[in-house]
Structure 1
Amino acid sequence: MAAHNRRMSGKKGAQVGSGGKRRRSLEGKGPTPPAEMRKGHPKQRAAQAKARRAQGGRRRGAGKSAAELVVGRNPVVEALREGVPATTLYVQQFIDNDERVREALKLAADRGGVHLMEAPRPELDRMTGGLNHQGLVLQVPPYEYAHPEDLVEAAHDAGEEPLVVALDGVTDPRNLGAVVRSVAAFGGHGVVVPERRSAGMTAGAWKTSAGTAARTPVARATNLTRTLEAYQKDGLMVVGLAADGDTELGDLDVLEGPVVIVVGSEGKGLSRLVAETCDFRVRIPMPGGAESLNAGVAASIVLYEAARRRA
């Protein structure tokens, strides 16, 4: 009899005091909540960002770069032709007045706002640290960087979805200038560069931008990873370009919404922390077999795809 009781105690089935848990587990969980209420959904991020914007203002300004000198006859003439901002043109006393000197003087005078200063050669030698200035030195004022949050705010003020490019480890000013030009061409709202180990808005970057730097803001981030995380909280999806990315560019639907495109250097690509922060790591298909593209070209391709989808 005792053995029989032990077999009965191991019998499967509902237990006393279960409270109907099994029955409730079979019940439905109700309708799917709207996108704005689903954790991690882009629309929820955007809704939260809109609420934060309604509560208060943004920080403005992220400081200035150092003043820059363009040295030499050809570089000075090219900078003036391309509309690089300038405050003063220094001309050596008793300089040989060739065609380039005459053009530099005319361009500076026609532009207005550029002071013409005559200086003895020893003074120009001192200013340039002994560089071969050839009697012409152009002073470029410090570039005033935007704050990363300003780019998003400007997009919302215009009633548009933010489209921003961030550069990670891109040190060639010409690549920065090319990206600025592409952002302007495809309706983007600005470029973000890290404060360290990155190209800045030098005269070379300005020249490569072909004047678009005058209307396309460049923001400087103290820490790029934290800036990207702040963008995510603002509702932007972070898309990093990587040769081994698990998503192909043509399949990336998030380009239609608020997005920041992160481009790394041609050699090293994205840094580890930045790559880990990205919501998507995207590859550009290259049937021709090239291993990589420089930052300017890669950014242009993705910006074109974003503009096509948004149109």
Structure 2
Amino acid sequence: MNVKRRGRPAGASVRKKSKGKAVGSGGQRRAALEGKGPTPKAEDRVYHPAYKAKQLRERAAANRRNRTQQTGSRRPAINDTEIVTGRNSVLEAMRTKVPATTLYVAARAEFDERMREIIGIANGRDIPVLEIMRSEMDRMAGRDTVHQGVLLKVAPYEYKHPADLLQRAFDSCETPLLALLDGVTDPRNLGAVIRSVAAFGGHGVIVPQRRSAGVTAAAWKTSAGAAARCPVAMATNLTRTIKDLKAAGVFVVGLDGDGEVPLPGLELADRPLAVVVGSEGAGLSRLVAEQCDAIVSIPISAATESLNAGIAASIAFYEVAKLRAEAA
């Protein structure tokens, strides 16, 4: 009897035989036992302060690239090349290791102990020493300047970005501590603040691009060399920078004589902290004060009207360093 095989219905699928050994669930169980892999870096964890700092750095880098594309130049500096004149001033600048590029000595200038020490330091630091005519030195220094036969050319300071200072603290696994200056125009006050920040474990100083002292030779000398190890950053907009720091988990406090929070025993001392110091006369500007998490006052005698920026910063950073040491 002939049996006629029926064809496969249209659209029917054919089950293919598996090749090789079937894989069971052992691999999945083994993967489960191995865990989820290494712990992500702090900067890759969304809720970690380092992640916010990373975002701040990336945003700053993008802004720098945009500015470079638009202007074709580097970040603007507060001061251009500076000339230091006079034997005492030049000698002090050399002793405090101000980053000089060239030393100029007038032809046939009289040499004394100061001049010999100046040239000795310059030779030791490989700073070029050039002899020029006195008429040329008069032109460089300005007709009304007494240069005493010696000039020192100081290179423009290379400012950091505020995000770089925050990253410096995270890289050292330390709680960030920064100083921000609001309207401080005296470079000696800036130098004093730099010295205090370096002395009490701070991670840098932030100055606004406008209406502020820059890191000039005067600031270098007042810092007593601390400017070589305590970086200074430039903020295009101080209010915007404060907002960025707060978004990165930093608490911002302003110093003001009328502040409601006393500095002694400051509760925020052990947190990531930025201290804003205003000018002696005007104090904190309104916009900056509004962005601060707290306005802190330093108790002083009623006979004293106010403290200058350098002294106020020294007291504040000492108190913060003391409270952090007690809490450690």
Change (3 A) 1:145 1:97: same
Contact 2:161 2:234 in 1 (8 A): yes
Aligned to 2:52: 52
SS in 2 for 1:47: coil
Contact 1:177 1:207 in 2 (8 A): yes
The answer as to 2:188 corresponding to 1:174 is yes
Aligned mate of 1:79, from 93, 104, 108:
93
Contact 2:265 2:323 in 1 (8 A): no
Percent identity over paired residues: 55
Change (3 A) 1:56 1:296: closer
Change (3 A) 1:229 1:122: same
CA distance in 2, matches of 1:73, 1:251: 46
The answer as to 2:142 corresponding to 1:129 is yes
**Any gaps of 5 or more consecutive residues in structure 1?**
1-45
Aligned mate of 2:155, from 130, 141, 147:
141
SS in 1 for 2:233: strand
Deviations 1:92-132 (A, max 9, x none): 1111222322221122112x220000101111112122222
Deviations 1:15-64 (A, max 9, x none): xxxxxxxxxxxxxxxxxxxxxxxxxxxxxxx9364333466854468554
- Of 233-242 and 279-288, the range deviating more from structure 2: 279-288
Paired amino acid for 2:250: L
Contact 2:85 2:146 in 1 (8 A): yes
Q: How does 1:222-237 map to 2 (within 5 A)?
A: 222-237=236-251
Q: How many residues are aligned here?
A: 265
**Any gaps of 5 or more consecutive residues in structure 2?**
1-45, 65-74
Aligned to 1:207: 221
CA distance in 2, matches of 1:210, 1:119: 30
CA distance in 2, matches of 1:240, 1:196: 19
Change (3 A) 1:101 1:226: same
CA distance in 1, matches of 2:104, 2:76: 27
CA distance in 1, matches of 2:150, 2:246: 47
Q: How does 1:24-39 map to 2 (within 5 A)?
A: none
* Shift of residue 289, structure 1, vs aligned partner: 3.5
The answer as to 2:127 corresponding to 1:107 is no
Aligned to 2:310: 296
Contact 1:165 1:191 in 2 (8 A): yes
- RMSD of the alignment, in Å? 1.8
Aligned to 2:24: none
Deviations 1:172-202 (A, max 9, x none): 1111111101001100000011111111100
Change (3 A) 1:54 1:231: closer
TM-score (norm 2): 0.77
